[in-house]
Amino acid sequence: MFPTATLQKLPNGLKLVLAPDDHVESVCFGLFVASGSRHEKPADAGISHFIEHMLFKGTPTRGPLDISRAIEGRGGNFNAYTSEEGTCFYAYMPCECIETAVDIISDMYAHAAIPDAEFGRERNVILEEIKMYDDEPDAVASENLSKALFPGNALGLPIAGSAKTLLKMTPERLRSYIRRAYVPSATTAVVAGRFDPARAFDLVSRALGGMKGGRPVKHEPVDLRRRPVAEVRAERDIHQVQLAMGFRMFGVRAPMRRKCAAMVFDAMMGRSMSSRLFQSVRERRGLSYDIRSQLQFFEDVGGWAITAGLDTARVPAAMAAIERELDRIRTVRPSAPELRRTKDFIVGNFRLGLESMRARLFYYGNCVQTYGRIRDPGDMVEAISSVTSEDVRGVAEEILDEKNRAISWVVPKKEDR
């Protein structure tokens, strides 16, 4: 069903995934490092995201315009993202440009200059990014929910940090953090698309095989003895209430069957227009324009959340409808037709997604960073297909534990009510 991918390791400890596919005209090269927001100390909050931005600002041999012209001038594009548990940098290019993709992304990664002249400007860009999210009530609700679910842990803090922490950072502090965190043993390189595996291995070995460094940075595990904060509230100059309700749950190290049951539960509840929450809250009652659910797995914990925008006067009715659906999923096994439709939705969505080389890059990179090995996509399909109605009901009962629940509200300011 899916082309074969292989995992190799360079002598310095860097892991390399090669996922060739001769049926496409593109190649995607990316580097994943186990350095995300939850690895940061309080004084360094936001530094991983800041580094992500600064790696585009040049190396000793390339300026930022040189980098963008080399990739975009060949029709390609490049980008990066920072998450709670890692950072990724990648380039997507025509297949004959694999050398350019490997050369430039590796140069950015291994030889970032962090130029003083660019530092202040980019810090201002990130401060504006933080303000932008603070102006978005759904983002505020979700950020506050994370704080409530994981109190006292970096996992609950904003990935971009805060103005207070960013204003204390210096270029040398970022360079020092890179030297400590961006080490081969914490890094996975992935090549996906049309390429010759032997040549790709040689390109990556020459570009990154000389990197040296110590052990990956560690993070503090979530203290499961500390219960989530039951309810948090923020006010904004808005006309609609924004809800984010979440449950702290098990993490990525849980057995595959349990995780797949959670994925089916999530899809059944709020991943599509035919899901229970969408049909009950929007379609049948007209209580929300958009309501959905989201499932996240981290190393030691996870979270399941419902988000919705609600009219102030209709909040009680919407909450009653949501609670009815939560009670139904944890007490009554789904019917065979609903279970089949939901599993087909997940499997079909997964298969279609992996037609994109970028999606394959993210799949294999995150897989190796999480498990230390490749998980064949076919195994995932098989595991999802084996989930039973009782598996779904059982995992729903486990996830929807009231003592692990938190609710985040963003409401209109009092004068607007």
Give the pLDDT confidence of 357-410 residue by residue, as tens digits. 999 999 999 999 999 999 999 999 999 999 999 999 999 999 999 999 999 999
H helices of 250-376, in order, are 256-270, 276-277, 315-331, 336-353, 357-371
pLDDT at 416: 45
Residues 183 and 251 in one domain: no
Q: How far is CA 108 from the centre of its chain?
A: 22
pLDDT at 102: 98
pLDDT at 3: 80
Residues 195 and 304 in one domain: no
d(CA 311, CA 143): 21
Residues 10 and 66 in one domain: yes
Here the CATH number for the domain that contains residue 279 is 3.30.830.10
Residue 259 lies in a domain: yes
**Tokens 């809800």 sit at which residue?**
243
pLDDT at 122: 96
Residues 409 and 375 in one domain: yes
Tokens of 226: 């500390």
Residues in the chain with pLDDT values less than 50: 416-417
d(CA 392, CA 215): 39
Residues 281 and 368 in one domain: yes
Beta bridge partners of 296: 303
Residues 180 and 264 in one domain: no
Instruction: Determine contact, residues 260/342, Cβ cutoff 8 Å.
Output: no
Domain span at 280: 231-416
Residues 124 and 252 in one domain: no
Phi/psi of residue 6, nearest 5 degrees: -125, 150
Residue 103 lies in a domain: yes
pLDDT at 417: 43
Residues 57 and 202 in one domain: yes
pLDDT at 415: 60
Residues 166 and 101 in one domain: yes
Residues 25 and 81 in one domain: yes
Residue 43 lies in a domain: yes
Number of domains present in the structure of the chain: 2
Single residue among 208, 240, 259 that ends a domain in this structure: 208
Single residue among 177, 208, 239 that ends a domain in this structure: 208
pLDDT at 215: 86
Residues 250 and 124 in one domain: no
pLDDT at 1: 66
Residues near 366 by beta carbon (within 8 Å), at least 6 away in sequence: 32, 86
